[in-house]
């Protein structure tokens, strides 16, 4: 059996996993990155003439600054990104009315912008380029076979009979984490019985770098009631939509032809961007919430979707995962500077550092879903009054914007 001794094993070569591998290697740790899938390098190389990726992320300014420290952001083609200068949030009284509208402007919090829209493949490309410059051993296209965690070390055996031992193993292997399943970490899972439809569209009128979100819609139509629709600004006057609604309604929308689908979409957004045309395929995925009761086990930490899964309405999922890595980086940097080995005390410090942020984001997204999916007339009046009231409170708006940009 081929044995490898290292400092840290990182399982999962997605965005959060690769970022963690880079971050910890730059601290001076020996890192081995493992993923069951082969890395498709070709899919990460894009030209300005290529169509925009339909898988996009709203990256916060805090995350952008951190990606710059890793050297990743500098490798992203800025022409394929788009700033968010403002957000408009609409209630469910009327999609065209400003009576239940909340406006969050970057300038109100003395911020340059609220974040950037970035393609998945652009982020993967930048991360992979930096990864190749570091002394990181990458093992892909092989599944994990067994895991042993003791007070002294973490031991991982792969299906190809490679045996890796380390001080720490980081689980970045997604919401169905194999590593997490090997521990006694309890999880709570909730299906929203909702499905999100995503697609890219071209707009007749300028989106003016404004992200928009509609909660609810017209109660009398077939699709708007209890839905959440988001428009995210893309380059070349395109937008990315994320339309979350009851699964049976989402399936019906997916079965419509393009013309009928666009007609339903225009009904929900009030036609504010003029004629809309699909420039990508429509994709869909089911929505659920997943909360881990603990973020650590003996010699193991959870990051990203392995640690938490939230409703996409706030667009904070990947930022939450990157903040996991930032917190782990801070803890392990201190360990490194003190020339101390990684121990369970350090892992508990990481868990404490992340608990409040994850809990507050869980409460925010789940609470908003509960509030706007409730059909009670009184709650409908109250929630729409709340949006318009907040719009008049600059201090409250600044606090909301601070949450967005973090």
**Averaged pLDDT for residues 140-150:** 96
- Of these ranges, 14-23, 92-101, 239-248, the one predicted with the greatest mean pLDDT is 14-23
Residue scoring higher pLDDT (375 or 271): 271
Asked whether 104 and 209 are in contact (CB, 8 A), the reply is no
pTM of the model: 0.88
pLDDT higher than 50, residue 344: yes
At residue 218, the pLDDT reads 43
pLDDT higher than 60, residue 99: no
At residue 42, the pLDDT reads 64
Task: State percent of the chain over pLDDT 90.
Answer: 63
When mean pLDDT is compared across 72-81, 109-118, 143-152, 170-179, the lowest value belongs to 109-118
Task: Look up residue 86 and give its two tokens.
Answer: 């403002």
Band of residue 24 on the pLDDT scale cut at 50, 70, 90: very high
pLDDT higher than 70, residue 204: yes
At residue 314, the pLDDT reads 54
Phi-psi region of 180 (alpha: psi -120 to 50; beta: other; left: phi over 0): alpha
Encode pLDDT of 36-85 as tens digits.
998 776 666 666 557 888 889 999 999 999 999 999 999 999 999 999 99
Task: State percent of the chain over pLDDT 70.
Answer: 81
**Averaged pLDDT for residues 288-310:** 93
> What is d(CA 263, CA 265) in angstroms, rounded to the nearest whole number?
5
C-alpha distances (whole Å) from 11 to each of 2, 61, 97, 340, 382 are: 18, 27, 48, 23, 46
Encode pLDDT of 271-287 as tens digits.
789 999 999 999 999 98
CA–chain centroid gap for 42, Å, is 23
Asked whether 348 and 317 are in contact (CB, 8 A), the reply is no
Encode pLDDT of 245-275 as tens digits.
899 999 999 999 999 999 999 888 877 899 9
When mean pLDDT is compared across 58-72, 215-229, 231-245, 328-342, the lowest value belongs to 215-229
At residue 222, the pLDDT reads 60
Full set of structural domains in the chain with CATH: 3-46+128-188+289-367 (3.50.50.60), 59-120+191-287+371-405 (3.30.9.10)
Q: What is the mean pLDDT of the chain?
A: 85
Q: What are the CB-based long-range contacts (under 8 Å, 24+) for 101-108?
A: 101/387, 101/388, 101/391, 102/387, 102/388, 102/390, 102/391, 102/397, 103/391, 104/397, 104/400, 104/401, 104/404, 105/401, 106/401, 106/405, 108/394, 108/397, 108/398, 108/401
At residue 67, the pLDDT reads 98
**Averaged pLDDT for residues 229-254:** 93
Band of residue 401 on the pLDDT scale cut at 50, 70, 90: low
């Amino acid at each position: 059996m081929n044995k490898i001794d290292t400092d840290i094993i990182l399982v999962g070569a997605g965005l959060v996993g690769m970022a963690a591998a880079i971050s910890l290697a730059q601290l001076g740790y020996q890192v081995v990155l493992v993923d069951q899938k082969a890395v498709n390098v070709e899919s990460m190389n894009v030209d300005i003439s290529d169509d925009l990726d339909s898988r996009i992320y709203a990256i916060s300014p805090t995350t952008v600054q951190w990606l710059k420290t890793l050297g990743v952001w500098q490798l992203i083609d800025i022409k394929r990104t788009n700033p968010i200068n403002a957000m408009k949030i609409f209630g469910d009284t009327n999609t065209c009315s400003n009576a239940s509208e909340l406006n969050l402007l970057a300038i109100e919090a003395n911020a340059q912008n609220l974040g950037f829209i970035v393609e998945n493949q652009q982020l993967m490309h930048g991360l992979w380029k930096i990864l190749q410059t570091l002394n990181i051993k990458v093992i892909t296209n092989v599944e994990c076979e067994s895991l042993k965690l003791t007070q002294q070390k973490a031991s991982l055996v792969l299906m190809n009979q490679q045996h890796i031992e380390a001080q720490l193993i980081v689980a970045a292997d997604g919401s169905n984490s194999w590593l997490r399943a090997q521990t006694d970490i309890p999880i709570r899972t909730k299906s929203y019985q909702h499905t999100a439809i995503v697609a890219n569209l071209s707009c007749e009128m300028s989106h003016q770098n404004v992200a928009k979100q509609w909660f609810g819609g017209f109660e009398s139509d077939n699709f708007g009631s209890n839905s959440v629709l988001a428009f995210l600004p893309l380059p070349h006057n395109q937008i990315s939509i994320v339309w979350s609604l009851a699964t049976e309604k989402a399936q019906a929308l997916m079965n419509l032809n393009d013309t009928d689908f666009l007609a339903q979409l225009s009904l929900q957004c009030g036609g504010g961007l003029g004629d809309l045309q699909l420039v990508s395929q429509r994709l869909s995925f089911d929505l659920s919430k997943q909360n881990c009761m603990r973020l650590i086990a003996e010699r193991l930490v959870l990051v990203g979707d392995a640690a938490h899964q939230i409703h996409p309405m706030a667009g904070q999922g990947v930022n939450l995962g990157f903040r996991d890595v930032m917190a782990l980086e801070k803890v392990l940097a201190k360990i490194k500077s003190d020339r101390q080995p990684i121990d369970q005390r350090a892992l508990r410090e990481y868990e404490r550092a992340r608990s409040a942020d994850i809990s507050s984001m869980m409460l925010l997204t789940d609470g908003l879903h509960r509030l706007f999916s409730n059909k009670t007339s009184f709650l409908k009046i109250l929630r729409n009054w709340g949006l318009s009231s907040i719009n008049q409170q600059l201090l409250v708006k600044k606090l909301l914007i601070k949450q967005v940009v973090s």
